[in-house]
Amino acid sequence: MINSNNALILKNEQVARDIYVIELHIPNITFICRAGQFVNLYTGNNAMLLPRPISICRADKNRGVIKLVYRIAGKGTEIISRMKPDSLIRVMGPLGNGFKLEHGKVALVGGGVGIPPLLELAHALRENDDETDINVFIGYRNNETFLLNEFREICRHVDIATDDGSAGFHGNSVDLFKNGDTTQADFVYACGPLPMLKSLSEYMRNRADRLFLSLEERMGCGTGACMGCAVKVRDGANWVYKRVCRDGPVFTASDLLFDIEGA
């Protein structure tokens, strides 16, 4: 059964242009969530019944608090951005499958609001095996970066890119990753806009079974009801539709059929 509860908003602050961090006190989600899962946030506006699926950025089990980072991408997230601390917001989750934790040398590649779930992943990888060598390649629009210090606290190597070249490498996170010593990574985890994930899949086509993609961008209702998030996934010699919200959002790149329209 999926949890649906009201959570107390502890903080809801802008950290970059159109980017906000919200912290919610909701212990029953905090205790059971895994890296790569997401929650649905409800605006409380009857004209806007569909929830807003947001990836979990950090889960602090001691405080019973989850942290989410979201971009204002429409009316729903704009309403959420105006919610004040000490008010309540309805939250459903945790939802989705989450990341499988591997060992060895791993690379995390993220762009925009695809960066936040990689922070919880970095903590989970570290807690799972403190020998794991975590290397981070993240891309922002400009020098209004976020979560950078949190990554630097626990990862061996953190590189950034910006679209406008105002900080770090001039380009996107995939170009940044390609520019590094990428052949050394045993496993690669990525989250970000679909073109970024396609580009990374193409680059790693010979190692696609070691590339894990979170397709968080492909969400509609977030509850398995609308099929608006369907992607084509290999099934032996054939393919089947899978729902990003129910069967994902994380898929192994070798299973995804990006080349077919709608995948």
Distance, in Å, from the CA atom of 123 to the CA atom of 76, rounded to the nearest integer, reads: 30
Place of tokens 């980017």: 19
Measure CA 98 to chain center. Answer: 10
CB of 50 to ligand FES, least distance (A): 9
Stretch that binds ligand FES, among 2-10, 77-85, 89-97, 226-234 (CB under 6 A): 226-234
CA distances from 244 to 9, 95, 248 (A): 27, 10, 4
**233 interacts with ligand FES by CB under 6 A:** no
Tell me whether residue 67 or residue 243 sits nearer to ligand FES (CB atom). Answer: 243
- β pairing state of 105-111 and 133-140: parallel
Please count the residues of this chain forming the interface with ligand FES, following the rule CB under 6 A.
Answer: 13
Judged by CB under 6 A, the residue of 27, 224, 233, 239 near ligand FES is 224
Distances (CA, A) of 175 to 86, 117, 159, 237: 42, 20, 11, 32
**Phi, psi dihedral angles at 211 (to 5 degrees):** -115, 120
Candidates 118-126, 162-170, 176-184, 220-228: pick the segment binding ligand FES (CB under 6 A). 220-228
For position 229 contacting ligand FES by CB under 6 A, the verdict is: yes
Among residues 2, 32, 49, 225, the one that binds ligand FES under rule CB under 6 A: 225
User: Which of 48, 124, 148, 226 touches ligand FES (CB under 6 A)?
Assistant: 226
Residues binding ligand FES (CB under 6 A): 219-222, 224-229, 243-245
